[in-house]
């Protein structure tokens, strides 16, 4: 007997949006709450309950972790589309994430790195398929789609706020500590899983089956490859802990950045040169390449939030308000607060500009986001100079920086995603969205390598780190603006491909 179709709505949106909104909110609570602690935990001394490793190694590991989370979305999306469907990918991904946080909560050096691997694998399954299912709730001509994604995006930021607040407090509490905070992330994911399971009928079968299922023989081969890959990963991990293999995080991050870049070039170039594109499609790809460059450079600076800016908040910021000390991790919540406050303004900005016949190209918009983000590091350059003189700086330096970073994000991120959908040749749009995600991975790993230059024992070098990031990003932004005089016509050509 078939299950009855769920016909309820939520604020005028499909009822399934509530399922995905709440699940994503709690998953993001667990992800951002845990991500906020990583560098702080790794660089904290053994006496403080941390791992006591160097900033360079910790930042490299952080970059590898965040880069791998984005990268694993590629196979995660493929597994859902070809093997198990989006609903199952979300369910099993969430379980793996929860297990990873539970392992992180175990006070042992080995458990920390094993837990990170679990979280990476689980997030790779869950994250891309959450967004995919949101889109599948709507017909192509459904006018509610943009509002639905805006509501969904709000859930991400509410979840991150909860994660920063709860985990940030537990992390620095004398009564609890690091592993209670990691455990809280596990509880958050568990809440999300319970809600997801209870409200799955609201999805009305969306994502229940693979969208492009493979033959039985193809499935068998695919599962063999997946199992072999997991066994190889487990073997490398075991040999690393046994001392058979010695891994230098910085060298590994450098090599991974090169590999991700080569994969990006090979895939993008393969579509451009071997995809049988017409002239207008090639022009669209050329314009899209500049957007990808802007995105990579943006995230190499933006992801400093969890590494060098986090350390600056801990070591060089006066966090006392009266008798209350602001937990270090709470500064990262500023990004979510500003996004929630500013998103309606930016949503209206582009619409109003278009009504006045002012429509900057994608290159200009993303370059603007990159330059605004870079000005945040000019603020940090002056703050770091005060710190280098032996002073602890006021919190408003970080507040100003996170404000500028958020404004830059709102200029770049939604525009870049729109550019991928509009400039990509239709038959390659899904693949190019996956290729675009590589810009997050490349930027995150580069960010970790840059943050490795944050040396608490050499505070006088910190201003140079921030001005380096700022000048490089501004320089790239200016080049993109200059090139936009050419790419504007490319973008128009791509619209009539």
| Dihedral pair phi/psi, residue 182, rounded to 5° | -60, -40
What's the pLDDT at 343? 82
User: Helix %, strand %, coil % for the chain, to 5?
Assistant: 80, 0, 20
What's the pLDDT at 1? 39
Give buried/exposed letters for 295-316 (b at 16+ CB in 10 A, else e): bbbbbbbbbbbbbbbbbbbbeb
Q: Could you tell me the end-to-end alpha-carbon distance of the chain, in angstroms, rounded to an integer?
A: 47
What's the pLDDT at 357? 62
What's the pLDDT at 371? 97
Structure token pair of residue 346 = 């930016």
Q: For the chain, which ranges sit under pLDDT 50?
A: 1
Other Cβ atoms less than 10 A from the Cβ of 286: the count is 18
Helix (H) or strand (E) holding 337: helix 333-355
pLDDT digits (tens, 9 = 90+) for 337-360: 999 898 888 777 766 776 776 667
What's the pLDDT at 33? 94
What's the pLDDT at 7? 64
Residue 12 vs residues 17, 18, 60, 144: alpha-carbon distances, Å? 10, 11, 45, 8
Contact 459, 316 (CB under 8 A): yes
Residue 68 vs residues 188, 367, 453: alpha-carbon distances, Å? 22, 26, 21
Find residue 9's DSSP bridge partners. 14
Residue 62 sits at the vertex; the CA angle it makes with 61 and 65, to the nearest 5 degrees, is 85
Find residue 317's DSSP bridge partners. 393
What's the pLDDT at 113? 93
């Amino acid at each position: 007997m078939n299950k009855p179709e769920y016909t309820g709505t939520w604020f005028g949106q499909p009822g399934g949006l509530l399922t995905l909104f709440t699940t994503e909110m709690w998953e993001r609570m667990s992800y951002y709450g845990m991500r906020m602690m990583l560098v702080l935990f790794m660089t904290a001394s053994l006496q403080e309950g941390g791992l006591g490793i160097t900033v360079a190694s910790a930042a490299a590991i952080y970059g590898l972790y965040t880069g791998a989370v984005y990268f694993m979305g590629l196979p995660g999306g493929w597994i859902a589309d070809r093997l198990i469907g989006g609903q199952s990918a979300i369910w099993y991904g969430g379980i793996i994430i929860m297990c990873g946080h539970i392992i992180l909560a175990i006070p042992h050096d080995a458990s920390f790195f094993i837990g990170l691997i679990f979280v990476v694998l689980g997030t790779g399954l869950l994250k891309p398929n959450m967004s995919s299912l949101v889109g599948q709730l709507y017909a192509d001509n459904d006018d509610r789609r943009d509002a639905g994604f805006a509501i969904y995006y709000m859930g991400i930021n509410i979840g991150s706020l909860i994660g920063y607040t709860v985990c940030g407090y537990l992390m620095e509490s004398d009564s609890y500590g690091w592993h209670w905070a990691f455990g809280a992330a596990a509880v958050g994911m568990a809440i999300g899983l319970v809600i997801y399971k209870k409200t799955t009928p609201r999805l009305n079968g969306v994502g229940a089956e693979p969208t492009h299922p493979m033959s039985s023989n193809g499935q068998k081969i695919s599962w063999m490859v997946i199992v072999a890959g997991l066994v190889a990963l487990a073997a490398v991990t075991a040999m690393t802990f046994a001392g058979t293999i010695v891994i230098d995080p910085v060298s590994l991050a450098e090599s991974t950045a090169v590999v991700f870049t080569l994969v990006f070039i090979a895939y993008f170039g393969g579509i451009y040169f071997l995809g049988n594109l017409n002239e207008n499609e090639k022009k669209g790809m050329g314009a899209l390449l500049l957007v990808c460059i802007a995105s990579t450079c943006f995230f190499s600076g933006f992801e400093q939030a969890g590494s060098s800016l986090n350390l600056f908040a801990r070591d060089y910021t006066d966090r006392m308000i009266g008798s209350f000390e602001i937990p270090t991790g709470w500064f990262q919540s500023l990004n979510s607060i500003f996004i929630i406050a500013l998103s309606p303004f930016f949503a209206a900005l582009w619409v109003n500009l278009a009504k006045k016949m002012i429509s900057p190209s994608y290159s200009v918009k993303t370059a603007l986001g990159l330059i605004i983000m870079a000005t945040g590091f000019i603020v940090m350059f002056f703050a770091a100079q005060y710190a280098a003189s032996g002073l602890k700086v006021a919190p408003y330096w970080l507040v100003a920086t996170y404000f500028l970073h958020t404004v830059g994000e709102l200029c770049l991120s939604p525009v870049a995603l729109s550019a991928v959908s509009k400039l990509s040749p239709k038959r390659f749009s899904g693949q190019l969205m996956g290729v675009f995600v590589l810009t997050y991975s490349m930027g995150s790993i580069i960010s970790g390598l840059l943050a490795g230059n944050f040396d608490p024992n050499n505070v006088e070098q910190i201003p140079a780190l921030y001005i380096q990031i700022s000048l490089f990003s501004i320089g790239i932004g200016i080049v993109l603006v200059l090139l936009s005089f050419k790419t504007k016509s490319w973008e128009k050509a791509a619209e009539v491909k």
